[in-house]
Structure formats: C-alpha cells, structure tokens
Amino acid sequence: MLTQTIPIAAASSGTSHDLTVHRFGRSGAGPCVYIQAALHADEIPGMICAQALRRELLAIEAAGDLSGEVVLVPVANPLGLSQQVLGQPVGRFSLGDGCNFNREFPDLGATLGPMLADRLTDDPDANLATIRAALRDALAEHKPLTPAQHLKTALLGLALSADLVLDLHCDAEAAMHLYTHTASAGTFAPLAALLGARAVLLAEVSGGDPFDEAVSRPWADIAHAFPDKPVPFGCHSITVELRGQRDVDHAMANHDAGAILDFLRHAGIIAGVPAALPEPLCRATALEASEPIIAPACGILIYRHEVGAPVEAGDIIAEIIDPLSGEATPVATQSSGVFYARSSLRFAIPGKRLGKVAGTTSKRSGRLLSP
C-alpha cells in the first residue's frame, strides 16, 4: 500500500486540511477502481466500511491477487468533518458558502467537443486514452477558489482515470440503495445483489452535478456528440447509500466490504472465485419515478412503515400530530414501490421531505436529487 497526502487550500491563515489516499496494486495500472467514503462528512458508515476494505485489500495485495490498482480515500471530506455547530456535526453543506459538498462538480464533458473534434479515431482503445487525457486537461483549466471547490477538484482528479468508481454515502434512515447512470445498470447489477440493495435508481442526468455523474456522464455526452466514432463508456460510477447514519458497526461494515470485494472478483480485478450472486431484492427503476414524501403540516412525526418495506399507492406512510390540538394528518404515497429512506427527525414542518419511495412510473423531471 502506498499512502499519499494531498493538501486542500485553507479558508484562513493558520488552518490546514489534507486528503489521505491509499493505493493498492500497481500504481497507474489498469483496470483502476476508485473508492471514496463520506463525501458528506457526517455519513459515517462509509468510513467504517473503508476501514474494512483497507484491511482486506492489504491482504489481497500481499497475496498478489490484485489486478490493476485500487485507490481508496477513507475520508473524502476533511473540511466537512471539521464542522461542528453547537456540538452537532454538519457535513452535508459547507458552512462557508452553503454549498452541498456533493453538488456542483465541474461538468467537464460540456467543454470537450472542440477539443476532441479532430482527435477521435476508429480505435475505441485509442479514443479511451484520448478522452481521459482531454478530461485531465479540462480539469487543469478549472480554477477553484473556495476550499470546497479545491476539495472537489482534488477528488475529481483522483477519479478521472478510474474504470469503476464507488462513492460511499448513507441517508438519514434508509435501506441499502444505489444511484447510477442508466448505462451502468448492468455493470453494477452484481454489486446490487451482493449488497442486498432494496432500490437501484437510474438516471442519465439527475441534476445538481453530483460526484458520480461528474466522472461518468462525460462519456455519455461525448458518445452522443460523436455518434460516428466508437466511444467507450470509460467510467462506470455509482453512489452506494450504506443504509442510515446510525448504521455503524463492524458486522455491517464487514458485510459491505465483503460485497464490494466480491463485486471486484466478479469484475476480474481481484483474483479468486467470487461468491455466488444472490437473487436481487429489487429491480432497477428510474430516478424520475422516485417519489419524495413531503410534509403537508407541522407536528410530531410518526412513521407507519419501516425503511425497505413495500408500499402501495395510497398507503399511509406516516402521520403528523399537532402537539396543541392532537389532530392527526395522514401522509400517503402516490406511488407503489419501496419505502427506501426517511428522515431521522420526528418533528415535521410543512414542505419538509419525510422520505422517499422508489416507484415504477416516471413522473418527475428537472432536478431529481434533494438539495
């Protein structure tokens, strides 16, 4: 294992933050897998999973069973990890400017058309190398200003050369669920089965420019811009939501790390016989069909369904009880599907997102992810 430290620009004098990067296998060799944890810094399940991955990858590397390279960033957001407000961690948003740490990544694919117009050939392998070099050049032209922008640029730079990217997150309270590009559904179907995902949500553009799309969507954009050239989908990326924020223990971390490593065995990146794939617990559905459950009233929040439960359109997901009058307001879902995530707070205000149902009928458009 080779450990690298990358400094992140500070917001003020006398402060500093660093990214720690662990590299396993042959540095710079392919295939390359990039895994990062806790881009939203207060989402800890990814961190403990990364510890289990590091331990197992050390043994796999020592045995000579690793083909190519695995790059592991166990703490992807040291800026957010340092943020505390009255003793409570605040890792989703930068306190400096209010930006979401997993939104507004540079859209590199949008700038590459003129750069590639005369450089693509009829050789897909050559095009793969050409596009990766162009992506690196485009990122080098990007000029970050704030510490959060410097962090995003550094993370993107680490991931641009990867064939597979896994971004480890969690929700507030949730069943295991995944987000990926529509073109990557087949690639990650074994991972979904091994993890026991209860929802796999697909989109070509989810809105907000999150990290996983920043490394994968340029390949789709370039293929669309040059339909007469063989443009491979050079980076399949996925956001892995490791249940809820409180789901932090060794048993779950070891299970999740084992599933990820078995996925890499199925992909031929780790030697050995992979575990047999279990029957998937869900089928992939469009993110457009994911229904956000919104609070219509203020009051005490009581859930009627656990995360991971199947629901039917019209089912009462929760009720909101007015603490002054005792009046109960039912909250129903319009979709049939799986109730895969919910809030960890038990007091609602009007307009608050209470949960999400992975439905099957596409209804939404525009920005599909929560802020």
Range in 75-79, 228-232, 264-268, 366-370 the model is least confident about = 366-370
pLDDT score recorded for residue 114: 86
Q: Kindly list the domain boundaries of the chain, sorted by start residue.
A: 2-283, 286-358
Mean pLDDT of all residues in 80-85: 94
pLDDT > 80? residue 28: no
User: In this predicted model, what pLDDT tens digit does every residue of 303-341 receive, in sequence order?
Assistant: 999 999 999 999 999 999 999 999 999 999 999 999 999
The third-level CATH classification (topology) of the domain covering 286-358 is OB fold (Dihydrolipoamide Acetyltransferase, E2P) (2.40.50)
* Mean pLDDT of the chain, nearest integer: 96
With a cut of 80, say whether residue 362 has pLDDT above it: no
25-49: average pLDDT: 94
pLDDT at 94 over 90: yes
Confidence band for 40, pLDDT divided at 50, 70 and 90:
very high
Check whether 233 has a pLDDT greater than 90.
yes
- What does the pLDDT read at residue 363? 84
What does the H/E/C string look like for the chain?
CEEEEEEECCCCCCCCEEEEEEEEECCCCCCEEEEEECCCCCCCHHHHHHHHHHHHHHHHHHCCCECCEEEEECCCCHHHHCCEECCEECCCECCCCCCECCCCCCCHHHHCHHHHCCCCCCCHHHHHHHHHHHHHHHHHHCCCCCHHHHHHHHHHHHHCCCCEEEEEEEECEECCEEEEEHHHHHHHHHHHHHHCCCEEEEECCCCCCCHHHHHHHHHHHHHHHCCCCCCCCCCEEEEEEEEECCCCCHHHHHHHHHHHHHHHHHCCCECCCCCCCCCCCCCCEEHHHEEEEECCCCEEEEECCCCCEEECCCCEEEEEECCCCCCEEEEECCCCEEEEEECCCCEECCCCEEEEEECCCCCCCCCCCCC
Predicted local distance difference test score (pLDDT) of residue 275: 87
CATH number of 2-283: 3.40.630.10
**46 pLDDT higher than 90:** yes
Is it true that 2-283 and 286-358 share their CATH fold?
Answer: no
Is pLDDT at 285 greater than 80 in this prediction? yes
Average pLDDT over residues 55-79: 97
Q: What is the pLDDT of residues 245-273, one digit of tens each?
A: 999 999 999 999 999 999 999 999 999 99
pTM for the full predicted model: 0.97
